[in-house]
Amino acid sequence: MMRRLIVTSCSVLVVPEQGPSRVETEQDILVEDGVIAWLGPAGSGPDATGAESVDGTGLIAVPGLVNAHTHGPMTLMRGAAEDVSVEAWFNERVWPSDDNFAARQVTQFIAFALRGRP
């Protein structure tokens, strides 16, 4: 069974690939099975009968941002240089160590950071 959700009458932050960002007001967002199926002016979209409805008045929807970088390997460096400046910590401790990590080790460090064990 498809899950449907409609957020009505919200504002939407539009971030195009080129050009300035803008806010579109009085927008509806139809979500089907966790994916945005339609977005547009309030009341002008496809039939949303049976969908869970959320009143978005006064709210703003923003694009989801994915930050795929990680500081997982640094987990094992905690305490290695508590008494140095940030610049020294990076330039003298972190980056020289990073150069010596193999991909398998980085994967293990990230697992440790996320779960507390490799």
What pLDDT is recorded for position 72?
66
pLDDT surpasses 80 at 98:
no
Report DSSP letters for 22-86, one per residue.
EEEEEEEEEEETTEEEEEEETT-SS--TTSEEEE-TT-EE----------GGGGGGTTTTTTS-H
Tens of pLDDT, residue by residue over 20-66, are: 899 999 999 999 999 999 999 999 999 999 999 999 999 999 888 76
Residue 93, pLDDT score:
78
Q: What is the pLDDT of residues 69-95, one digit of tens each?
A: 666 666 667 776 778 888 888 888 777
